[in-house]
Structure 1
Amino acid sequence: MHLILTDAAPIHWAFGGAAISAITLALLYIGNRRLGVSTGFENICSLVVRTSYFTRESLVSSHSWRLPLLTGLLLGGVLSALLAGGWETTWALGMFDAEFGWGNGGKLAWMFGGGLLIGFGTRLAGGCTSGHGIFGMSNLELPSVISTVSFMAAGVVTTNLIYRVIL
């Protein structure tokens, strides 16, 4: 099996799982920190937005470790793409284009709307899939179990609606 966009052979999933678990354990046992990426978005916003929500101590004090974590995630993606032969932007969305044909503006609006819904769900659940699904589940936290089951169920229902009913 090859990757969709670059036709490169993927790295075995177990290596990714081991890396995620190592980062999670290091954050917990070394730094007493919780893995989660949605709060990292708040960290980035706090660099430019000066409201009380973005200047609260609990957020600003996490800059020293969360911003390097986010930078590492970004650089890891860039490095992965470079090692796979580079990347190029594309507006090709396969089946979506064939069924809807909305053009680039329509696709941009669709993705923006999806991003808003993801952001709303993240705040509603009190965290993102990485925070709940990786860190919270590994600690058997009930809110994380409920959130993760909800994320997964919504994904299954949405995928089946789109690919079996709409398309």
Structure 2
Amino acid sequence: MNYLLNPWPWYVSGPLITLVMALLLYYGKTFGMSSNLRTMCTIAGAGKVSDFFKFNWKENSWNLVVVVGAILGGFIGSHYLSNDSVTNLNPKTVEEIKNLGFNNIGAHLVPTEIYNWEVVFSIKGLLILLVGGFLVGFGTRYADGCTSGHAISGLSSLQKPSLMAVIGFFLGGLLMTNFILPLIF
């Protein structure tokens, strides 16, 4: 059963994110997905291999609710709150994406030319996943947090390192989109 609803407008979702961040700041907590991965690895016993994973994970177990919420929210959003409308993109953007070899631009949330099992299990797809995963993991560790942690939690608590990290994320995204991605495709 698919209820064809539109995404929540900014004036609903924005204040909800603000409320969550205000509560986290009030209770002295921070938000970020990479810290959840570290907690899950510690629970699985990674502390036996690396000192990075030796910490009291029970203090951060509350944050695992974020993982459960992201999974449930993604499922509910894609199965019950999505509509089948095509994303309205700028014609110039559509043309540039077509030149990279993509079809049906805006018809799906993500392009099927990249996100399908046939592509994933190709040599090129596996290399992209391995190199991309390494770069994301390295960057997250090097920046001491992920994009969600720095952009949402770090900026809302006025942390200068988070501002520098977010600027770096945007610059990296612009470089990737405009220079590296065209070389790959």
**Residue 66 of structure 2 is aligned to residue 69 of structure 1:** yes
Structure 2: gaps of 5 or more residues? 84-109
In the other structure, the counterpart of 2:16 is: 19
**Residue 46 of structure 2 is aligned to residue 47 of structure 1:** no
Matches within 5 A, 1:61-100: 61-63=59-61, 65-84=62-81, 93-94=112-113
Matches within 5 A, 1:146-157: 146-157=164-175
C-alpha change, 1:56 and 1:81, in structure 2 (3 Å) is: same
> Does the residue aligned with 2:79 lie in a helix, a strand or coil?
helix
Shift in Å at residue 14 of structure 1? 3.7
In the other structure, the counterpart of 1:10 is: 7
User: Cα RMSD over matched residues?
Assistant: 2.8
CA distance in 1, matches of 2:178, 2:111: 21
Shift in Å at residue 84 of structure 1? 3.7
> Does the residue aligned with 2:129 lie in a helix, a strand or coil?
helix
C-alpha change, 1:50 and 1:114, in structure 2 (3 Å) is: closer
Selected match of 2:31 from 27, 30, 35: 35
> Does the residue aligned with 2:128 lie in a helix, a strand or coil?
helix
> Does the residue aligned with 2:53 lie in a helix, a strand or coil?
coil
CA distance in 2, matches of 1:82, 1:132: 29
Shift in Å at residue 104 of structure 1? 2.6
Structure 1: gaps of 5 or more residues? 1-6
Q: Which amino acid aligns with 2:54?
A: T
> Does the residue aligned with 1:53 lie in a helix, a strand or coil?
helix
Identity across matched positions, percent: 30
8 Å contact kept, 2:5–2:81: yes
Selected match of 2:121 from 104, 119, 125: 104
Shift in Å at residue 78 of structure 1? 1.1
* Residue-by-residue CA offset, 1:79-101 (whole Å, 9 max, x unaligned): 11221469xxxx9643x59xxx9
C-alpha change, 1:112 and 1:11, in structure 2 (3 Å) is: farther
* Residue-by-residue CA offset, 1:94-114 (whole Å, 9 max, x unaligned): 3x59xxx96733313312321
8 Å contact kept, 1:46–1:60: no
In the other structure, the counterpart of 1:136 is: 154
8 Å contact kept, 1:39–1:127: yes
**Residue 135 of structure 2 is aligned to residue 117 of structure 1:** yes
CA distance in 2, matches of 1:110, 1:12: 34
C-alpha change, 1:8 and 1:163, in structure 2 (3 Å) is: farther
Shift in Å at residue 165 of structure 1? 5.8
Calculate the TM-score normalised by the size of structure 1: 0.75
Shift in Å at residue 19 of structure 1? 2.4
8 Å contact kept, 1:45–1:54: yes
Higher relative contact order (CA 8 A, sep 6+): 2
> Does the residue aligned with 1:62 lie in a helix, a strand or coil?
helix
